[in-house]
Amino acid sequence: MSNSVTDREQRPLRVAIIGAGPAGVYAADILTKAERDFEVSIDLFDQYPAPYGLIRYGVAPDHPRIKGIVNALHKVLDRGDIRFLGNVNYGRDLTLKDFRDFYDAIIFATGAIKDADLDIPGVGLEGSFGAANFVSWYDGHPDVPREWPLEAKEIAVIGNGNVALDVARVLSKHADDLLATEIPDNVYRGLKNSPVTDVHVFGRRGPAQVKFTPLELRELSHSRDVDIVLYPEDFDFDEGSDEQIRSNNQTKTMVNTLTNWLVEEQDTGASRRLHLHFLHTPVEIVEGTGDGAGKVAAMKFERNELDGTGNVRGTGEIVEYPVQAVYRAIGYFGSELPEVGFDERRGVIPNEGGRVIDTEGNPVPGIYATGWIKRGPVGLIGHTKGDALETIGFLLEDRLDLPAAKNPGEDAIISLLEERGVEYTTWQGWLKLDEYERKLGADFAAANDDGGAPAVQRERVKVVPRDEMVRVSRG
């Protein structure tokens, strides 16, 4: 047995996890709880000063389930057996060689934050947006502009997944009804001044094939002064649809909800309307003329029909809707990382069960992946637990074959970050920032209490600028 293996058996296994969203936290938690006869020492890195990744920067602020997920992640990190190091950018502040020098194993859990491409004419027009960028804006991402051009009265949202419904709901909801959430002040002001009257959501397949979930669908009906509009011609069910409804309770629930809404014709005269369209394939974003040149003026679709299996085929009929903005919510896509292989087609790090592989298909010793960067951006947040369990299983199986870290001391990585002038943040720093944001929410309520109706109780006001997040976190 080599000296490096003997050394590793006598000290904690040093593991770096890059990405402190649900995938990274789940991987850390599973590793700490795994049956083993040796110690582990885990550092959880993130490029943002705050933890939670997708939960903080990728989920609509009015989701009721967010609190439960955040509370679960908080409990894991608050135990003290996992060290959080935020505001550390992989590839800039620390290289792959750095991680190899200080850790026996590296797990990439960087997720997927870019929009998937929609290759149709007009996609580059002014007023054509990727949903991921808009989500980052309304969630207070520190690296996107503070302002968003909310100038359209009629808007198209392309996609039939949860993100599409989130985007449509935020666009159509009255800003005052979002005040009780952690919405940043700049986002509230932008949405408050939006002139929107109609938001149209378009899906390629039928009502039985939608990709959103019952919770997201039901949330649409909770928006005040927003009518939901559906169209009888979009409600088509073939043998494949009927089988899906019979065999899947979730599909049955959503189809029943949609058909009930259709029958009820929810026209209350609300000031805003949210339209749900099915069996529409986008073919072109139409450019305006005159003063509208270079800008979105309309959206063209081909009408579809079901083919008997639940899939669709085009009918050749083209329909056009006047809109002044288009949001593409057709999926996320992973980003390539320095010094790590990348599958351009799938948007993932090439891997087998979480073991990262090289161009010849051989495992790269000591490097692993989990979450969306491992399997692609599909499934719900809870599915990343299964990913993490598989990845950690292989890491533990490989333990004695891992290339030993040259400098495994826990303080060594801190010394390097300080030497390079990296203003890293810690878990204690996040607790300070968390307390600071909650105080901003309480201060808002106090400042707007006029002695009459109770002021809006804001859970927190999210801090957006990175430098301010770092300043508060570092005290």
Mean per-residue pLDDT for 98-123?
93
Within a 10 A sphere around the Cβ of 68, how many other Cβ atoms? Answer: 10
Give tens-digit pLDDT for 241-282: 999 999 999 999 999 999 999 988 767 889 999 999 999 999
In this prediction, residue 8 carries a pLDDT of: 64
Domain boundary among 332, 351, 373: 332
Above 60 in pLDDT, residue 378? Answer: yes
In this prediction, residue 377 carries a pLDDT of: 85
The verdict on 201 and 319 lying in the same domain is: yes
SS3 assignment for 117-130: CCCCCCCCCECEEE
The verdict on 268 and 134 lying in the same domain is: yes
The verdict on 294 and 202 lying in the same domain is: yes
Residue recorded with tokens 């949202």:
157
Q: Is the pTM of this model over 0.85?
A: yes
How far from chain centre, in Å, is Cα 223? 22
The verdict on 192 and 314 lying in the same domain is: yes
CATH number of the domain encompassing residue 201: 3.50.50.60
Distance CA 471, CA 332 (A): 31
Above 90 in pLDDT, residue 443? Answer: no
Mean per-residue pLDDT for 391-414?
94
The verdict on 143 and 273 lying in the same domain is: yes
Q: Is 325 in contact with 159 (CB distance < 8 Å)?
A: no
Give tens-digit pLDDT for 303-328: 999 999 989 999 999 999 999 999 99
Distance CA 26, CA 371 (A): 9
> Among 226, 452, 247, 185, which Cα is nearest to 255's?
247
> Among 304, 329, 226, which Cα is nearest to 271's?
226
Above 60 in pLDDT, residue 345? Answer: yes
CA distances from 49 to 44, 198, 239 (A): 12, 37, 51
Mean per-residue pLDDT for 373-399?
89
In this prediction, residue 1 carries a pLDDT of: 44
320 forms bridges with which residues in the sheet? 300
Helices 427-447 & 466-474 angle (0-180, nearest 10): 110
The verdict on 326 and 258 lying in the same domain is: yes
Q: Which domain holds residue 154?
A: 114-332
32 forms bridges with which residues in the sheet? none
Mean per-residue pLDDT for 148-170?
95
Helical ranges in 288-426 per DSSP H: 372-375, 383-397, 410-419
Tokens of 467: 């430098």
The verdict on 279 and 299 lying in the same domain is: yes
The verdict on 132 and 205 lying in the same domain is: yes
In this prediction, residue 5 carries a pLDDT of: 59
Distance CA 220, CA 206 (A): 18
The verdict on 187 and 52 lying in the same domain is: no
Residue recorded with tokens 């073939």:
238
Tokens of 174: 């009255």
Q: Is 196 in contact with 366 (CB distance < 8 Å)?
A: no
Strands 154-158 and 351-352: unpaired
Q: How many residues in the chain?
A: 475
The verdict on 76 and 179 lying in the same domain is: no
The verdict on 173 and 294 lying in the same domain is: yes
The verdict on 328 and 340 lying in the same domain is: no
Domain total in the chain: 3
The sheet carrying 226-229 orders its strands as: 128-130, 325-328, 154-158, 198-202, 272-277, 226-229
In this prediction, residue 332 carries a pLDDT of: 86
Give tens-digit pLDDT for 168-221: 999 999 999 998 888 899 999 999 999 999 999 999 999 999 988 888 898 898
